[in-house]
C-alpha cells in the first residue's frame, strides 16, 4: 500500500529555463522606476521570490531602510507588463525535458502536483503558458502568497485541502527544485526534496543542505522509482 504524495514543482531552473530574460526585464523595471542602474545576476534571483529580489535590489540602492511598498508594487506591475510581451516573444527560454519526464511519471503514478515558485502568479502564467504547461497544474503557491520559500510548503498543504479536498502529510510532500533554498524549504518543513543540479559549481552548497535526492538529471530512473514509492 503506497500513500499518495504531493509533488511541488519549482519553475525557473526546474521546469523551464527563463534564460536571462526575466531577470533582465525585472532589472530594467527597477532601473526605470528608480532612475538608477540595476543589473540582476543569477545569484541575485535564483531561489528567491520576485518580491524579495526587488526588495533586496532597492535596499542596495539608496532606498535602503525605506523600501516603500508602493514603489515595490509599481515596479512589479511594470515587470509583469513587460513580461507579457517580451518573454512570450523571446526564443531564449526553453523547457527542461527531464523535468517533463518526471512530471509525467508522477502524474501516471496517480500522485498530485502543484507549483511552488518565487514567481508571482501572473508571471508564472506567462512563463508556463509559453510552453503549454500552465493548465497542467491545478494550483500553486506563488510570490503573491509568501515572500519566502520556507513558508510555502505549509501553504501548499492548506491549498491542497481547498482545491483537491485531500490532506497530505508533510513527509509525503516532495519539493522538486534546483536551488539550495528549495532544499532548505523542504527540510525546514519536514518534506522530501528532489534537487536537480543545473550549475556544477552549486553542487557542494546544495549537497550541504542534504536534499533527499540530488541529481544531474530529473529523468534519472532509479530516483524516479524510489521517489514514486
Residues that bind Mg ion (CB under 5 A): 10, 12-13, 178
C-alpha cell at 8: 511541488
Q: What angle do CA 15, 152, 214 make, to 5 degrees?
A: 50
Chain position whose Cβ is nearest to Mg ion = 13
Q: Which is nearer to Mg ion, 10 or 184 (CB)?
A: 10
Torsion of CA 47, 52, 53, 59, to 10 degrees: -140
Minimum CB–partner distance for residue 107 and Mg ion (Å): 21
Instruction: Compute CA 132 distance to the chain's CA centroid, rounded to the nearest angstrom.
Output: 17
- Choose between 33 and 178: whose C-beta lies nearer to Mg ion: 178
CB-based contact 219:199 (threshold 8 Å): no
Minimum separation from the CB atom of position 2 to Mg ion (A)? 28
Angle, in degrees to the nearest 10, between helices 50-60 and 21-34: 50
Smallest gap from Cβ 15 to Mg ion, in A, equals 9
Measured from the Cβ of residue 1, the count of other Cβ atoms closer than 10 Å reads: 2
Phi, psi of 42 (to 5 degrees): -55, -45
Q: Which is nearer to Mg ion, 42 or 161 (CB)?
A: 42
Instruction: Return d(Cα 15, Cα 129) in angstroms, integer.
Output: 12
The residues facing 8 across adjacent strands are 114, 175
Identity of the residue, 12 or 50, whose beta carbon is nearer to Mg ion in the bound complex = 12
Q: Which helix (H) or strand (E) holds 142?
A: none
Q: How far is the CB of 14 from Mg ion (least distance, A)?
A: 5
Closer residue to Mg ion in complex, CB, 178/184: 178
Cα-based torsion angle of the residue sequence 183, 184, 186, 188 in order, rounded to the nearest 10 degrees: 160
Q: Least separation, in Å, of the C-beta of 46 and Mg ion?
A: 6
C-beta of 10 vs 209, nearer to Mg ion? 10
CB of 32 to Mg ion, least distance (A): 26
Amino acid at each position: 500500500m503506497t500513500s499518495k504524495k504531493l509533488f511541488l514543482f519549482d519553475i525557473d531552473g526546474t521546469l523551464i529555463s527563463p534564460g536571462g530574460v526575466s531577470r533582465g526585464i525585472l532589472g530594467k523595471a527597477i532601473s526605470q522606476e528608480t532612475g538608477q542602474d540595476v543589473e540582476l545576476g543569477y545569484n541575485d534571483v535564483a531561489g528567491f521570490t520576485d518580491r524579495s529580489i526587488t526588495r533586496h535590489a532597492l535596499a542596495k540602492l539608496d532606498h535602503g531602510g525605506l523600501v516603500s511598498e508602493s514603489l515595490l508594487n509599481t515596479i512589479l506591475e511594470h515587470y509583469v507588463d513587460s513580461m507579457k510581451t517580451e518573454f512570450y516573444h523571446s526564443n531564449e527560454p526553453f523547457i527542461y525535458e527531464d523535468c517533463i519526464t518526471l512530471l509525467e511519471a508522477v502524474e501516471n503514478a496517480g500522485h498530485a502536483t502543484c507549483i511552488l515558485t518565487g514567481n508571482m502568479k501572473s508571471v508564472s502564467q506567462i512563463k508556463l503558458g509559453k510552453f503549454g504547461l500552465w493548465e497542467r497544474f491545478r494550483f500553486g503557491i506563488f510570490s503573491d502568497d509568501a515572500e519566502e520559500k520556507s513558508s510555502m510548503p505549509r501553504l501548499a498543504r492548506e491549498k491542497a485541502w481547498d482545491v483537491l479536498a485531500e490532506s497530505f502529510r508533510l513527509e509525503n510532500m516532495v519539493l522538486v527544485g534546483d536551488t539550495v533554498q528549495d532544499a532548505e524549504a523542504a527540510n525546514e518543513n519536514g518534506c522530501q526534496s528532489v534537487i536537480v543540479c543545473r550549475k556544477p559549481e552549486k553542487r557542494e552548497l546544495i549537497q550541504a543542505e542534504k536534499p533527499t535526492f540530488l541529481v544531474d538529471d530529473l529523468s534519472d530512473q532509479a530516483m524516479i522509482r524510489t521517489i514514486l514509492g
